[in-house]
Structure 1
């Protein structure tokens, strides 16, 4: 059986996808104790480490065939607005160098590194690629909309495939039918409030009015942020990107509510039996940071098939 380790494992999307692809995840690490706690709950047979991977003792990490890594994306993500790319995020961006250290010590046959596509705009990205190549790896970046892999969410992410091969391994990824947001939304659950109530922002009321004109009584819309503009989204298409904070609201007639944590996890393609915190904000944070398990599974399957 193919074995793997999962660096920056978070809630375990990559590990869950790997397991679904028939890969045994031997070891997983994250610097955040809460993430390690829930990753361990869902992956009890995996060895866990809670540490800053800059200080990892790679000789204590099991040998493996496949390295999976999702280095911190906050320093690259456009969600950071004007702070994106600023020196204040140098520490988070530098987490990518831990991948190089792990590759140097263990020399697995392949690795898959996931991040936002702006990772390639990092000033040190060419140096990072050169370091990986110096270790004998070919570098094949893939920009993927996870909706194309069957995740019910438009989420554009970068999957960099690193292989000890003669040429870069460009994957033949499946083109799945898009899964609508309606597949996981529950209009009979949750805490709804009247749309017309004191204190409701005029911008929200405008979005509701515009959304009704386009989509009828039931639709999704951004409550915070600017995704989907001022019109909302049809529930018969994938939802927009799930972030680490509450963003999406459901409208049903004259009432509305925020997306629940369970719905956010489903939008990420986590199964309904995934163990998670009771705390809504904590779960949303973990979900927004995760690799969608189904996307991870499809990418890993393509790597194994092509290897």
Structure 2
């Protein structure tokens, strides 16, 4: 079944209202909106998120720590008689496999408990959470799930590779869905009818760039400069290869040591006909991973990274005419929930609601039938 036929035949027409916690630049919100969910509010502590979030989405942006967010602020964004969704991705760096200094002393470790607090205090019908796979083994995640179940949510979670859902990037993520209405599951790739996408299909038609150059028509299509040594290294690199392909004088001293010989995923070029590697917050640097352009002698641009995260090409990250801080925008893009994954989550929720339509009708009948009877007893129409 194609995504188009899925949207036409299998989705509820009921309006779903959402609040996106830890919303970042708006990847999850944009995907949910594409699936027909009305995201009313996005909350993040990072001021750099304000412009991209507000400029590309219909939701209001609130610059605030989720720790300081009150339940009444969330309820104000919800609709009293609607189907409400609390969504979000708590900052994942502390749980990431890239973070070898992860510690419960990191305050971000406990932000998932703030998410749990707001679920408890606002009692939405639906909850979704996306994060790095390694979170699944942490007690804080197990506590999150247990609290949802104790509050009578039906909970499912799984680790998915976003490439299976048509993202031009290998990106494994933990996705949780919870509902008070009944069992809920993430749609499988075959249910949506998606096709895999390669780096070539995603970015090959963008204008060529030199290292350190920006495209005049799209300033976000800019790449970092390269030192003379790194220029020699990228010229010696082949798509899908490693630094082991280089001549001895180009190999970094740290990689010549025994402890560095296993780090083959740095200083590499992407392959045209495969999905990209996982976009990190440092994807704009050639030496930070396999982020070399498959053909041009440079690292991929900010716009290319955003496209590989499935942001639309017209997605705005910086006000027109303002300078682009590469590290800041790279961080926003690398941290984002891929838009395509957000859309899959949204479609899964709307299919779930369609499957429980009778339950929703009965709940509505009881709610409004009871209100009508109470008014009639008081002699009101």
Compute the displacement of 1:202 (Å). 8.4
1:157 to 165, 173, 178: 173
Check the 8 A contact 2:270/2:292 in 1, yes or no: no
Indicate the residue corresponding to 2:371 in structure 1.
Answer: none
Structure 2 CA distance for partners of 1:251 and 1:148, relative to 1, 3 Å: closer
Structure 2 CA distance for partners of 1:74 and 1:227, relative to 1, 3 Å: farther
Check the 8 A contact 1:29/1:36 in 2, yes or no: no
Cα distance in 1, alignment partners of residues 315 and 228 from structure 2: 38
Indicate the residue corresponding to 1:114 in structure 2.
Answer: 130
Aligned residues between the structures: 286
Indicate the residue corresponding to 1:49 in structure 2.
Answer: 62
2:229 to 181, 185, 199: 199
User: Normalised by the size of structure 2, how large is the TM-score?
Assistant: 0.69
Structure 2 CA distance for partners of 1:121 and 1:205, relative to 1, 3 Å: farther
Compute the displacement of 1:206 (Å). 6.2
Matched, 1:9 2:23: yes
User: Normalised by the size of structure 1, how large is the TM-score?
Assistant: 0.84
Compute the displacement of 1:103 (Å). 1.1
Structure 2 CA distance for partners of 1:24 and 1:210, relative to 1, 3 Å: closer
In the TM superposition, what whole-angstrom CA distance separates every residue of 1:207-252 from its partner, at most 9, and x where no partner exists?
Answer: 449839xxxxxxxxxxxx9474787442111111111013401143
Cα distance in 2, alignment partners of residues 123 and 291 from structure 1: 23
What does 1:127-276 correspond to in 2, within 5 Å? 127-167=143-183, 169-175=184-190, 176-183=194-201, 184-186=203-205, 188-192=207-211, 198-200=228-230, 207-208=237-238, 211=241, 226=263, 228=265, 232-245=269-282, 246=284, 247=288, 248-252=291-295, 256-276=297-317
Cα distance in 2, alignment partners of residues 198 and 100 from structure 1: 50
Indicate the residue corresponding to 1:220 in structure 2.
Answer: none
Compute the displacement of 1:138 (Å). 2.1
In the TM superposition, what whole-angstrom CA distance separates every residue of 1:264-307 from its partner, at most 9, and x where no partner exists?
Answer: 11001111111113332222110100011111101210121023
User: What secondary structure is seen at the aligned counterpart in 2 of 1:151?
Assistant: coil
In the TM superposition, what whole-angstrom CA distance separates every residue of 1:17-71 from its partner, at most 9, and x where no partner exists?
Answer: 011001111111001111123211222x422211111121111222251111110
Structure 2 CA distance for partners of 1:237 and 1:73, relative to 1, 3 Å: same
Cα distance in 1, alignment partners of residues 263 and 311 from structure 2: 25
Q: Which has the higher helix share?
A: 2
Indicate the residue corresponding to 1:306 in structure 2.
Answer: 352
Cα distance in 1, alignment partners of residues 120 and 239 from structure 2: 56
Indicate the residue corresponding to 2:357 in structure 1.
Answer: none
Check the 8 A contact 1:171/1:306 in 2, yes or no: no
Structure 2 CA distance for partners of 1:11 and 1:119, relative to 1, 3 Å: same
User: What secondary structure is seen at the aligned counterpart in 1 of 2:167?
Assistant: coil
Matched, 1:87 2:104: yes
Q: Which has the higher strand share?
A: 1
| Unaligned ranges ≥5, structure 1 | 213-224
Check the 8 A contact 1:67/1:111 in 2, yes or no: yes
